[in-house]
Amino acid sequence: MPCPPLLGPLRSGLIGGVASLAMLLSALPAEAASALAAWRISREGVLELRTTPSITLQAFYEAGQGGQGPRVWIDLPGAPQRTRSLRGSGALRAVRIGKPDGDTTRLVLEFAPGTQLDPSAMRLVGTARDRWRLELSGLHSGSVGPAGEGDVEAAPVAWRPRRAPWRAEPSSGAFQGGDGTPLSASSLPGLPRGRFTVVIDPGHGGPDPGAVGIGGLRETDVVLDVSLQVARLLQDRGVRVVLTRTSEVDVDLPPRVALANSSGANAFVSIHANALNMGRPDVNGIETFYFQSSFSRALASALQSEMLNVSPGSPDRGVKPGRFFVIRRTIMPAALVETGFVTGDLDSPRLATASHRQQLALAIARGILNFLGGS
């Protein structure tokens, strides 16, 4: 699922996008102990957390007012055994572990007046099922002293992911394309070689895994695999392909757009997987977004219909207008596909299998080729 940049409001507010950047896993029950197992801040101004795996985090920022410095705080499920306040050093005035209510642990970083932070560049990222990282952008290296509690590097706590019920695929074993022909690499339509260029954009990557769902399934693993397969299928049909990334690296949104706009591409497709939370496994479905132009809508429609053909039973969430950066700023027909919910009891087990990812790649490639052939 696409992740917007974090917001930096002048007043207290949620650091935007954290819920989607975070691993969207089931919340702990209200009576559970705090999910915060360990934390530390480095001299470079990097906050790292170790938590129990099955949680959702929220991060907030508040600008300094009335002689007070800025604050950053993170809310985790479960109440702490004790509240406490630790003296900081340098620009970090104090670290407080609080209990705003009976169900929440709040880790608060209080900074000295005049400390300059850049919340627009701050992003809370899940780097593993139980690891989190937040760079306190704007701090100069060495402006805070190291601090922490517990062992951030300790082994993960024992965790058994919920198993989602598997719903059987059609017994025929052979999916069909939108025109009724069996869907395979050899059945994909051909185009004049060298005439078309397509940009494929695997969402997320590197320290940003995107959404994480049932069984620890990571969005980045799904979409990179599907994207690389789409690229090969298109190349075999004579299409020049540009990939915004080919491995687990972090590529910001503006460079993705810049690469696409300088490529002379005829189409841009950003590939993602959706998520809600582990408490709603009933939410599944395929959806595709476009921005304004009729050509982009035609591309999105071609992709949506083909993906639905290989995802029987998964709800059709439709072709929708969207304002995601990568489709709003690109100059060619562009679409962003959501291949299913990693938190859905129907979509997630499928997305976790190589065979379904192969079928999705075939469907996306066919949708692109159909669009190019009709353009």
Give the active site residues: 338
CB 303 within 8 A of CB 335: yes
Residues with Cβ within 8 Å of residue 174, at least 6 apart in sequence = 182, 183
Burial class (CB in 10 A: 0-12, 13-18, 19+), 94: middle
Structure tokens at 41: 């801040």
Q: Which of 221, 273, 212 is nearest to 245 (CA)?
A: 221
Rounded distance between C-alpha atoms, residue 201 and residue 14, angstroms: 28
For 269, the enclosing helix (H) or strand (E) is strand 267-274
Question: How far separated are the first and last CA of the chain, in Å rounded?
Answer: 28
Look up residue 109 and give its DSSP letter. Answer: E
Return the SS3 of 238.
coil
Strands 71-77 and 104-111: antiparallel
Residues with Cβ within 8 Å of residue 230, at least 6 apart in sequence = 200, 269, 271, 361, 364, 365, 368
Strands 124-128 and 92-98: unpaired
Structure tokens at 316: 């059709």
Rounded distance between C-alpha atoms, residue 209 and residue 220, angstroms: 5
Look up residue 218 and give its DSSP letter. Answer: B
CA 4 to chain centre: 9
Cβ atoms < 10 Å from Cβ of 160: 8
Beta bridge partner(s), residue 98: 106
